[in-house]
Amino acid sequence: MRLRRRLNLGFAALLVLFTAFLVVQFGVGSRLRDDHDRRFARIDAAREANRLALQRMTDAETGVRGFQLTDEPLFLEPYQNGRGAALAALTRAAGQTRDRQARELLDVERQALADWLGQYADRAANGIDGENALGKQLFDRLRAVNAAADDAIAAELRAENAAGRRTERILAIGSGILVLAVLAAGYLLVRVSRRQLLVPLARLGDTIRRQAAGDRSARAEPAGAAELRTVTEALNDLSAQTEELLVAEQARTARAWLCQAVVAELQQEGDDPAVIGTRVVARIGGALGADAVHGDLFVPGAGQVAVRWPETASELPVADAAELRALSPGDPVPCAGGLAVAMGGDAECPGGHLLVVREFLPTFTEPERRLLASVGREIERALRQLSIRAHQDLLIGELRMLDQRKDVFIQTVTHELRTPLTSILGYAEMLSDEEEELNPMQRRSLNAILRNAHRLQDTIGDLLLLDRPDDGVSAATEPVDVATLATVVHAELDTAAQAKNLTVGFDAEPAWVRGDQTQLRRALRKLMENAIKFTPAGGSVTWQCGADERTVTIAVTDTGIGIPAEDVSGLFTPFHRAGNAMDQAVQGPGLGLAIVRDIVRDHGGSIAVQSVVGRGSTFTITLPAVPAPAPASVPVPAS
């Protein structure tokens, strides 16, 4: 039976018994006492009435004798009053008593009174002489019957008292039994509560305190009621799960610590790889309590390194070494008299293996197996990272060498090209001065030489600009009105735009920045040249230049061939050309946008592009704005 049901039944029984005690003590007991008091008062009233009848008869007898002696009618008054009162008292006495014998005696007493009145008293009161001896005899008989009736009523009164005392005893016994029953029920309830609830709860509390103090193995013994046993079992299950989680967390922490230590050892630079490998296997052996640890690791830059711990450990037999090399990467497996784990690899970083030997406790637990597996994976990952880092260092070195060679190549090419190009331009310009001596064909050829020589000279200038040190804007900076520069560039390229029948829109308002005027003009020119170059004949190019308190914005929009989305990311890289530009054989080295980006970046700005293939492109330059300089004051001549 569950504790809840027991407690409910106990409290119900206790309530019923207590209610019964109250009913018996104050309900039934009070009623019985009241009944007893009423009966006692009634019987006592009957006795008093019987005694009053005797007293009234005595008064009547005294009045009759006084009348006989004195013949005074005054003495008859007590007789008359006593006669009626005696009869009335006998009637009341007969009505109050329930005792059959007392009633019979009262009837006899009434008859004796009637005999005394009829045979003696009435005759004497009427003046008829009677025999006094007969009167005395009848009155003595009346007195004797009255005494017998009084004794009978007294007996009834004693019987009623005895019955009242018995009732009181029965009530007292019943009340006592109910009180004992209440006490017994309360005791049983307390005992059940203590045995089934309080004691198990105290033990449960002790177990919880022990667990809170750090004793994770503490368990409570299931005892008491079913509900409390359920709680105890749940607490034990929770404690077991908590202990398992703590053990697992400790194992995980140990794995993490060991893995970090192993990785830190492998990342040490400058030490001998064999020494590093020995420290690694030493940490593994200490963590697993091993007698010996053997490892075969591929260390980038040093090759395959075989290590063992301790140094006094014997080398592995050839058969065991071959068995270890044949293992597949994965979970640890029993091998060569111990627990081994193989590490995967690739062509650049071949794998290896670890073997842990423990003689005193050859069976490894599951946490130990997971620990070795985690260490193996971390070693494999660390060695791969070292291999990747070595490969990256090699690539970085090669890239640096290529960058140096590129710089040397650009310097050599520009130097070797500028000298003969200067001579070509000089002699070509000398020939162009002799226009009268040249025929039309020679003049066209000379113009082609000059045009291509200037183009080559611009390309050399672009290469020199890209190859300059990244020092930002030159020291010769000044406030520059970008709108004025845009107007100049627009005028310079107007002829080229008209040659392709392009519609050029130009909208510029004063916009001041601080920078190198020559470089900014170069950037705007290259941006405009690109727009004209990549816009088919009959298209349009639009300039917009504006400013606010913080920034200056220059936007160049064309209706040209557009830029494929896959080419946008490399658009500002030197020598990069979009695929559709090469398909349509649009000439150019791919340096213009790279130069624009560098110039804009040197001036603290940015450049963005939006383009749709076949619909055109918009290049937007954003530069930091500066206030317009105050106009120079003109001195007023003295009058």
pLDDT tens-digit profile of 391-435? 777 788 877 777 666 666 666 666 566 667 676 767 677 767 666
Q: Cα–Cα distance between 610 and 568 in angstroms, integer? A: 9
Q: What is the pLDDT of residue 219?
A: 80
Checking if the pLDDT of 282 tops 50, the result is yes
Q: Cα–Cα distance between 91 and 587 in angstroms, integer? A: 158
Checking if the pLDDT of 464 tops 70, the result is no
495-534 pLDDT, tens per residue? 888 888 988 888 888 889 999 888 898 889 888 888 888 8
193-209 pLDDT, tens per residue? 777 777 777 877 888 88
Task: Report helix, strand or coil for 484.
Answer: helix
Instruction: Give the phi and the psi of residue 547 in degrees, each rounded to 5.
Output: -150, 155
Mean pLDDT of the chain: 78
**Local confidence band at 353 (pLDDT 50, 70, 90 cut-offs):** confident
Q: What is the pLDDT of residue 639?
A: 38
As a residue count, the chain comes to 639
Tokens 């000089």 locate to 426
Q: What is the pLDDT of residue 638?
A: 45
**DSSP states of 22-44 as a string?**
HIIIIIIHHHHHHHHHHHHHHHH
**What value does the mean pLDDT take over residues 533-546?**
89
Give pairs for 506-510: CB < 8 Å, separation 24+.
Answer: 506/542, 506/543, 507/542, 507/543, 507/544, 507/545, 508/482, 508/483, 508/543, 508/544, 508/545, 509/483, 509/545, 509/546, 509/547, 510/481, 510/483, 510/547, 510/628
Q: What is the pLDDT of residue 512?
A: 92
211-255 pLDDT, tens per residue? 788 777 788 787 766 777 777 878 888 888 887 777 777 767 776
Question: Which tokens in the block code for residue 2?
Answer: 């569950």
Task: Report helix, strand or coil for 505.
Answer: strand
Which range scores top for mean pLDDT: 50-54, 80-84, 285-289, 370-374?
Answer: 50-54
Q: What is the pLDDT of residue 201?
A: 77
Q: Are 462 and 589 in contact (CB under 8 A)?
A: yes
Which range scores top for mean pLDDT: 181-185, 264-268, 508-512, 570-574?
Answer: 508-512
Q: Are 481 and 452 in contact (CB under 8 A)?
A: no
**Local confidence band at 553 (pLDDT 50, 70, 90 cut-offs):** very high
Q: What is the pLDDT of residue 129?
A: 65
**pTM value > 0.85:** no
Checking if the pLDDT of 269 tops 70, the result is no
**What value does the mean pLDDT take over residues 130-158?**
84
Checking if the pLDDT of 4 tops 90, the result is no
**What value does the mean pLDDT take over residues 597-614?**
88
CA dist list (Å): 419 to 9, 37, 401, 448, 589: 119, 153, 27, 19, 21
Alpha helix locations (H) across 467-591?
482-492, 494-499, 517-533, 565-568, 579-583
**What value does the mean pLDDT take over residues 443-447?**
73
What is the DSSP secondary structure assignment for residue 1, as one 8-state letter?
-
Q: What is the pLDDT of residue 89?
A: 86
Q: What is the pLDDT of residue 184?
A: 84
Question: Which tokens in the block code for residue 568?
Answer: 């946008």
Q: What is the pLDDT of residue 585?
A: 47
Q: What is the pLDDT of residue 621?
A: 92
- Which residue has better confidence, 475 or 411? 411
Cβ neighbours for 294, distance < 8 A, ≥ 6 positions apart: 281, 306, 307, 308, 313, 316, 324, 354, 355, 357
Tokens 């130069």 locate to 595
Tokens 């300059």 locate to 468
Checking if the pLDDT of 302 tops 70, the result is no
Q: What is the pLDDT of residue 556?
A: 92
